[in-house]
Amino acid sequence: MAIFLTGSTGFVGSHIAAGLLERSSEPLNLLVRARDDHDAELRLWRSFQAHFDFPRFHNHLRSRITIFRGSLTDKYFGLAPEMYRYLVESTGSVIHCAASLNRKSEKACLNTNLRGTLEVAQLSARAHAHHGLRRFSHVSTVAVAGVRSNEMVQEDRAVEWDRNDYDPYARTKKFCEHMVRELLPNVSRTIFRPSIVLGNSRHGETTQFDMARAFVILAGLRVLPFQPTARLDIVPVDFVADSVVAIHLMERPQHEIYHLSSGAGSLNFRQITDHLARARHRRPPLYLPWLQPPFSGTIHALTHLGGGIGFGATLLKVFLPYLVWNTVFDNSRVVEETGRTPEPFTNYCLPLLQFSREHHFTYPYRDWPGSTQAPAPGSHLAGASPR
């Protein structure tokens, strides 16, 4: 039986897919939105080339991967009836990672997160009714905890429905967790809540640059409007993906919910900026917390400008609440169960900063060899119905 994974062309999802290919012998059913079959292969190659060279990727593509070319929010994913039936009958477990992270758009979050999760849950219920589903794993976010301040949040006490949410992304992901529990009451479930996912601790490269851009902007400021002792719960993507893969493959995980976070090991602003200052032979920034209100107002005003200034301001506006809440999320469950703690951000933040700047916030993707070729024949493509 195969593992059905959504979001395999995304930042976290591609790392999860690579981990499954490395640590499991099970085949993968991947939902990919694409114009045609070759475009689906190209999209997968772009997302996997940070993990595999082309021969290795191509071998996995031909031997382990079945692509279902469809859309997360379409009924039955837009697949032809026989393709959807095959997806139901061949899926043994599910990892739902796809989501809209558009924290500014209620519409985008409602459409992708809620409608998409509903479709995945319905697919899972049908697979469970047909042959029994081994597990449903849902990648959520610590942001479901809502507005917090100066807290260490435990998994089972994170969601409080009367608490205000930070943004549409957090609000819809909270409802997604609720939906999964209500629609799959008899299925073994795991819910993973990553904190701020930034960079890769094994190397300085990344394919996701929104948060990296915000980090680079802040790293260049001589004055920071934050409390220097406020902690940032940052984790590398490899820790998140490895944790999801390890626990999803376990026969009996000990818990339903896991914070994939840095927990008590979270570093504060001063620890991070002092490390960067020493590494770059510069003076550390000056902290003036009383500047936070005018700083926020200036950022809001600059978002209306065009060009790089407006774009940078928009990024900072989106991520600012997550930088000032001084809240961390207990990670003792995942550490105890996997035996691994996340690398401190200071161990890889400088290579991340250098890589982002040197490549102008763009990953140096490689073309498909002989990119004008049509896809080679094979049974790994499970197309979509005409739309």
Which range has the worst mean pLDDT, 116-130, 143-157, 368-382? 368-382
Do the beta carbons of residue 136 and residue 184 sit within 8 Å? Answer: yes
- pLDDT score of 308: 76
pLDDT at 313 over 80: no
Per CATH, the number for 2-197+235-264+327-343 is 3.40.50.720
Q: In this structure, which amino acid lies at residue 315?
A: L
- E runs forming strands in the chain: 2-6, 28-32, 65-69, 91-96, 136-139, 152-153, 189-194, 196-197, 223-224, 231-232, 234-235, 257-260, 267-268, 286-287, 328-329
d(CA 211, CA 298): 19
d(CA 5, CA 89): 15
Which range has the worst mean pLDDT, 57-66, 127-136, 367-376? 367-376
Structure tokens that stand for 330 in this block: 């207990």
| pTM, rounded to two decimals | 0.92
Do the beta carbons of residue 344 and residue 275 sit within 8 Å? Answer: no
Which range has the worst mean pLDDT, 67-81, 245-259, 356-370? 356-370
d(CA 222, CA 287): 9
Nearest to 32 by CA among 64, 65, 70: 70
pLDDT digits (tens, 9 = 90+) for 119-147: 999 999 999 999 999 999 999 999 999 98
pLDDT digits (tens, 9 = 90+) for 24-38: 999 999 999 999 999
Domain-wise residue ranges, the chain:
2-197+235-264+327-343
Q: What is the DSSP string of 183-208?
A: H-TTS-EEEEEE-EE-SBTTBS--S-
- pLDDT score of 89: 98
Task: Specify the DSSP element, H or E, that contains 38.
Answer: helix 37-48
Provide the H-helix boundaries in 250-331.
269-279, 292-302, 307-324
How many Cβ atoms sit within 10 Å of the Cβ of residue 379? Answer: 7
